[in-house]
């Protein structure tokens, strides 16, 4: 079985695939100081919920946007899975896609893996929207190439900035308040974040499609995306497994067997 690890700035996702289907997917808060020996008991208990053990896992692949976390996750794979992990972005690992941007080395591992996952499942051209600490819009060409995109602050980051910068603005839950015009501070903030995010994403998708000049599918993923499912006319698919699917495909493209 394959252990696929995707390290984001806020959360780290662990997923296990048995060669036919995903056996489980779990999230933990990202902490680059967490050692392999600290990960192991937590992951062992999580695996047990899916009737799995470390001995069932034979391979590991890691994607991370937090370089400091890689050392401990590499040790986790070596000590507890007894496998040298594949690492997105390291020399010799073939993603199987062209990176058509001015500075290919600057493309984030998560964005490239999402492009692979989106192309395998939905084809191209497409827009992949990943809502996390940052919200990214990535363009996948008809042949699967990564063609750049847009990066902006994520929804939770925007909320945190409001709370930190304005003394009287509280922390609020992200949800549809049921109306556009807020009648108190909380509902005004909720409306601004919820509907503002929707209009921002709808507007950027419209502009991307106009500039690209071809019909494009739109796929949304990431920890926050599920809060908006059904609210976006322009989004064709909500797919929480997209990054894990991309990691599985990269593993297979590099000779991985399950």
Q: Which residues are catalytic?
A: 110
Strands of 11-17's sheet, edge to edge? 22-29, 11-17, 2-7, 59-64, 86-87
Characterize the bridge pairing of strands 237-238 and 217-221: parallel
CA angle (149 as vertex; 112, 206 as ends), nearest 5 = 130
Q: How far is CA 237 from CA 106, 118, 131, 216, 225, in A?
A: 27, 10, 14, 12, 11
With b meaning 16 or more CB within 10 Å and e meaning fewer, what string describes 243-253? Answer: bbbbbbbbbee
């Amino acid at each position: 079985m394959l252990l696929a690890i995707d390290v984001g700035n806020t959360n780290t996702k662990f997923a296990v695939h048995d060669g036919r289907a995903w056996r489980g997917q779990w999230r933990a808060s990202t902490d680059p100081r967490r050692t392999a020996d600290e990960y192991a008991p937590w992951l062992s208990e999580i695996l047990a919920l899916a009737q799995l053990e470390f001995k069932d896992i034979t391979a590991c692949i890691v994607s991370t946007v937090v370089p400091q976390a890689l050392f401990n996750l590499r040790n986790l794979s070596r000590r507890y899975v007894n496998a040298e992990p594949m690492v997105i972005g390291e020399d010799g690992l073939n993603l199987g896609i062209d990176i058509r941007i001015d500075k290919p080395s600057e493309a984030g591992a998560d964005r490239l893996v999402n492009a692979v996952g989106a192309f395998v499942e939905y084809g191209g051209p497409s827009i992949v929207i990943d809502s996390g600490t940052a919200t990214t819009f990535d363009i996948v060409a008809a042949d699967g190439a990564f063609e750049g995109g847009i990066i902006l602050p994520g929804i939770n980051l925007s909320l945190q900035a409001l709370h930190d910068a304005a003394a009287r603005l509280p922390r609020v839950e992200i949800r549809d308040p049921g109306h556009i015009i807020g009648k108190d501070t909380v509902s005004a903030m909720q409306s601004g974040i919820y509907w503002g995010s929707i209009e921002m994403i709808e507007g950027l998708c419209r502009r991307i499609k106009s500039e690209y000049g071809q019909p494009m599918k739109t796929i949304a993923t990431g920890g926050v995306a599920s809060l908006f499912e059904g609210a976006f006319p322009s989004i064709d698919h909500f797919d929480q497994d997209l990054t894990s699917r991309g990691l599985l495909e990269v593993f297979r493209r590099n000779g991985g067997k399950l």
